[in-house]
Amino acid sequence: MPTALVRAQRRANGKCPTCGRDWGGTTNRCDFCLTKRRAVYEDKVLHGLCVADGCQREATHDKMCQEHREDMRLREQRKHKKIRDEAYAQYGGYRCACPGCTCTTPEFMQLDHINNDGGKHRREIGGCQQIGGNRILYWLKRHKWPKIVQPMCANCNFAKGHYGACPHANIVH
Ligand SMILES: [Zn+2]
Ligand SMILES: [Zn+2]
Ligand SMILES: [Zn+2]
Ligand SMILES: [Zn+2]
C-alpha cells in the first residue's frame, strides 16, 4: 500500500492513488485496481481468509481475523462519534430539549423529531423502520441540518413518543 503522501500526489496528478496509472476519476482505485481487489476479496472469502488488505490469517470473525474485525469496529465507532458530535453541535449540544430535564449525558441523548413524525421520516429516507441511527445523521447533514429534530434524552423522548408529552415538561428547574 503506497503511503498517504504518495496517494495524495497521485490523486492530484490525475493518477490512480493505488497503482499510479492514469486515472481520470476521483476514487481511491481505478477500475483495474477495483476489479483486482474484488477478485482478491472473493478468493479470500472462498478460502476462509481474513479480507483485510494483506492479511492472510484465518477469517474467524465474519470474514475477518479477530484483530481486523476489532480495528473495523473501532473505526466505525470513531466515525459514528464524529457525525454524532457534528449533528449535536448543530442542534444545541448534548442537552435535553425538555424544559423539565437537566440531562446532558451524551450517551442518553437521541434526536427527537419535534413533530413526532420520526417513524414516517425514517421510512421515507430508509425504506424501512429498522435503520441505524447513522443514516438519519447523514441525511440531516446533506439537507443542511433542518430544524426538524432536537436533542432529547431517552427518557423524555420515550415519554413524548408514547404519551405525547413528557410528564416532567412542566417542572421548572
Ligand atoms: Zn489503479
Ligand atoms: Zn486480518
Ligand atoms: Zn430529558
Ligand atoms: Zn422531560
> Residue 130: what pLDDT?
44
Residue 172 has pLDDT above 70, yes or no: no
> Residue 118: what pLDDT?
83
When pLDDT is averaged across residues 2-24 and rounded to a whole number, the result is: 92
Question: How remote is the CA of residue 98 from the centroid of ligand 3, in Å?
Answer: 5
Q: Copy the grid coordinates of residue 77.
A: 465507532
> Residue 171: what pLDDT?
62
Q: Which ligand neighbours the alpha carbon of 57 most closely?
A: 2
Q: Does any domain span residue 47?
A: no
Question: How remote is the CA of residue 51 from the centroid of ligand 1, in Å?
Answer: 19
**Cα distance between residue 148 and residue 118, in whole Å:** 9
Q: Does any domain span residue 148?
A: yes
User: Scanning the structure block, which residue is given the C-alpha cell 498517504?
Assistant: 4
Q: Does any domain span residue 173?
A: yes
What confidence tens digit (pLDDT) does each residue in 89-148 have?
999 999 999 999 999 999 999 999 999 888 888 888 775 544 456 788 999 999 999 999
Beta carbons within 10 angstroms of residue 31's beta carbon: 11
Q: Does any domain span residue 170?
A: yes
Q: Does any domain span residue 67?
A: no
**Cα distance between residue 136 and residue 27, in whole Å:** 24
**CA dist 132 → 7, 39, 128 (Å):** 32, 30, 10
Q: Which ligand neighbours the alpha carbon of 100 most closely?
A: 4
The number of residues making up the chain comes to 173
pTM score of the predicted model: 0.71
Q: How many CA atoms lie within 13 A of 88 on its CB side?
A: 22
Domain of 137, in residue numbers: 94-173
Q: Does any domain span residue 52?
A: no
Q: Does any domain span residue 8?
A: no
Question: How remote is the CA of residue 63 from the centroid of ligand 2, in Å?
Answer: 9
What confidence tens digit (pLDDT) does each residue in 33-78 have?
999 999 999 999 999 999 998 999 999 999 999 999 999 999 999 9
* Farthest-apart Cα atoms in the chain, separation: 66
User: How many structural domains are present in the chain?
Assistant: 1
Q: Copy the grid coordinates of residue 108.
A: 442518553
DSSP category for residue 170:
T
> Residue 129: what pLDDT?
44
> Residue 9: what pLDDT?
93
> Which among 132, 108, 120, 118 is positioned nearest to 161, based on CA atoms?
118
Protein residues with C-beta less than 5 angstroms from the ion ligand 2: 50, 52, 55, 57, 65, 68
